[in-house]
């Protein structure tokens, strides 16, 4: 490969079995150097297992994990130049902040003087200089999370693994830490592999996202790619909200497909790889649909109810074939919300819809 030097972690055909259950099934991933890479999926999908195989806490049944050209699959965790930020932080409770952060440096054989210098540097980076002498149980959750980050960054790992590090924080704090993490990744230039089940977290932070389900990678791509061009029904549904209309696909060519909407209108829109003629799913995001007068637009339906969401209004519309479609409208003083029971038409650009496979 031409960009071989560019790959930080190359996961090749990795399979992990627990008895007869396969937690990971032939996973292939290229994680690039200096990239914020996110493993995203529902709980139990294998994303944490994958992270732990990179860290070395889980053996793999099959495959290779190549870190900057070196197969590390058979190395012990302490022999791998990667560090982990654990979900529960796992700060050593009997050591203060400095001792915690210094732990890895000393194990690598650094002398105390230079280790101290590095600790000060990293604590500065996470803005915890004032707390250097505190014990972990004297810190708030957010501060503990920063110590965990500092401790993992101190030995300058080639890759930093983060196992849902924000899940224990409250919403406001989580949003602040997101930006901070991204900043630290840019500042340090270390490759981040971030595990989360929170699609919003994944979309806002990542350079690229791997969507995982059932131990298999569903799609890898930038936030925009996975959101706007999902490969299958699962990805479309898991990332953001979407409407999935039952359609009949009639024709496929050059990445486009023609399909017949409920109500009989035919459109041509982008199609995912693997789409085939016959019954199919058409994904349309709620914010891409507009409400028009009856008998206009692509499909017809009846307003079922509306849900007020602050900035937005969700209008649920029942189509003639009794499917429900959600339309998202931004709230403003000019907004005209159709009454429940009213017959309306729905319109969307063909390019905003996408034919998907199961």
Q: Which is nearer to other proteins, 90 or 132 (CB)?
A: 90
Q: Does 191 sit near other proteins (CB under 8 A)?
A: no
Q: Residues 28, 70, 108, 279: which binds other proteins (CB under 8 A)?
A: 108
Scan residues 308-337 and list those touching other proteins (CB under 8 A): none
Question: Where would I find the beta strands (DSSP E) of 158-276?
Answer: 159-163, 191-196, 208-213, 216-221, 243-253, 256-260, 266-270
Q: 157 or 345: whose CB is closer to other proteins?
A: 157
Least distance in angstroms from the C-beta of 308 to other proteins: 29
Residue 265 sits at the vertex; the CA angle it makes with 262 and 267, to the nearest 5 degrees, is 105
Given 5, 69, 94, 332, the residue binding other proteins (CB under 8 A): 94
For 72-170, where are the alpha helices, taking DSSP H only?
97-107, 112-125, 141-153
Q: Which residue, among 282, 256, 280, 260, has the nearest Cα to 269 in the 3D structure?
A: 256
- With residue 183 as reference, give the H or E element that holds it: helix 171-188
Q: Is 302 exposed, middle or buried (0-12, 13-18, 19+ CB in 10 A)?
A: middle
Picking from 287, 278, 272, 294, the residue whose alpha carbon sits closest to that of residue 325 is 287
Query: How far apart are the C-alpha atoms of 268 and 260, rounded to whole Å?
Result: 9
By CB under 8 A, tell whether 75 contacts other proteins: no
Under a CB-based contact definition with an 8 Å cutoff, are residues 216 and 26 in contact? yes
Is 183 one of the binding residues for other proteins (CB under 8 A)?
no
Among 75, 90, 313, 357, binds other proteins (CB under 8 A): 90
Q: Which stretch binds other proteins (CB under 8 A): 62-70, 71-79, 264-272, 337-345?
A: 71-79
Residues 136-165 that bind other proteins (CB under 8 A): 136-137, 139-144, 151-152, 155
C-alpha to C-alpha distance for 58 and 84, rounded to whole angstroms? 14
Nearer to other proteins, 107 or 305 (CB): 107
Report the residue from 49, 84, 191, 242 that binds other proteins according to the rule CB under 8 A. Answer: 84
Residue 173 touching other proteins (CB under 8 A): yes
Measured from the CB atom, is 125 or 289 closer to other proteins? 125
Smallest gap from Cβ 24 to other proteins, in A, equals: 19
> Is residue 11 part of the contact set for other proteins (CB under 8 A)?
no
Positive/negative CA dihedral, 66, 189, 78, 205: negative
From first CA to last CA, the distance across the chain in angstroms is 32
DSSP string, 204-231: HH-SEEEEEETTEEEEEE-HHHHHHS-S
Stretch that binds other proteins, among 50-58, 252-260, 275-283, 301-309 (CB under 8 A): 50-58
Q: Would you count residue 88 as binding other proteins (CB under 8 A)?
A: yes
Backbone phi and psi for residue 46, each to the nearest 5 degrees, phi listed first: 105, 0
Handedness of CA 94, 99, 103, 109 (dihedral sign): negative
83 near other proteins, rule: CB under 8 A = yes
Helix (H), strand (E) at residue 15 = strand 7-18
Nearer to other proteins, 160 or 235 (CB): 160
- Report, in Å, the least distance between residue 172 CB and other proteins: 9
Q: Residue 148 Cβ, how far from other proteins at the closest point, in Å?
A: 9
**Residue with smaller CB distance to other proteins, 173 or 244:** 173
Select the residue interacting with other proteins from 8, 97, 149, 169 (CB under 8 A): 169
Residues that bind other proteins (CB under 8 A): 55-57, 76-78, 82-84, 86, 88, 90-94, 103-104, 107-108, 136-137, 139-144, 151-152, 155, 168-170, 173
């Amino acid at each position: 490969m031409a960009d071989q030097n560019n790959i930080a972690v190359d996961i090749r055909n990795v399979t992990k079995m627990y008895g007869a259950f396969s937690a990971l099934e032939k996973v292939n991933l290229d994680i690039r150097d200096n990239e914020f890479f996110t493993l995203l999926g529902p709980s139990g999908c294998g994303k944490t297992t994958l992270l732990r195989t990179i860290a070395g806490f889980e053996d793999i049944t099959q495959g290779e994990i190549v870190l900057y050209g070196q197969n590390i699959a058979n190395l012990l965790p302490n022999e791998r130049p990667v560090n982990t930020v654990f979900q529960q932080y796992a700060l050593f409770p009997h050591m203060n902040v400095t001792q915690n952060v210094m732990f890895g440096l000393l194990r690598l054989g650094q002398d105390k003087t230079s280790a101290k210098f590095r600790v000060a540097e990293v604590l500065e980076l996470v803005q915890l200089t004032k707390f250097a002498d505190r014990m972990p149980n004297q810190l708030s959750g957010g501060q503990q999370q920063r110590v965990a980050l500092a401790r993992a960054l101190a030995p300058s790992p080639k890759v930093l693994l983060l196992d849902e590090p924000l899940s224990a924080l409250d919403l406001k704090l989580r949003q602040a830490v997101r930006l901070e993490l991204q900043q630290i990744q840019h500042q340090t230039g270390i490759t981040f592999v971030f595990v989360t089940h929170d699609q919003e977290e994944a979309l806002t932070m990542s350079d690229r996202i791997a969507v995982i389900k059932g131990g298999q990678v569903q799609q890898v791509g930038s936030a925009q790619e996975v959101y706007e061009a999902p490969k299958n029904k699962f990805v479309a549904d898991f990332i953001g909200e979407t409407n999935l209309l039952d359609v009949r696909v009639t024709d496929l060519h050059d990445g486009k497909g023609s399909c017949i909407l409920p109500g009989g209108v035919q459109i041509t829109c982008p199609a995912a790889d693997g789409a085939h003629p016959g019954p199919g799913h058409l994904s349309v995001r709620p914010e891409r649909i507009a409400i028009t007068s009856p008998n206009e637009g692509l499909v017809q339906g009846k307003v079922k109810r509306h849900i007020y969401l602050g900035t937005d209004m969700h209008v649920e519309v029942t189509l003639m074939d009794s499917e429900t479609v959600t339309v998202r409208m931004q709230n403003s003083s000019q907004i005209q919300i159709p009454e429940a029971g009213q017959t309306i038409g729905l319109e969307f650009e063909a390019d905003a819809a996408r034919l998907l496979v199961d």
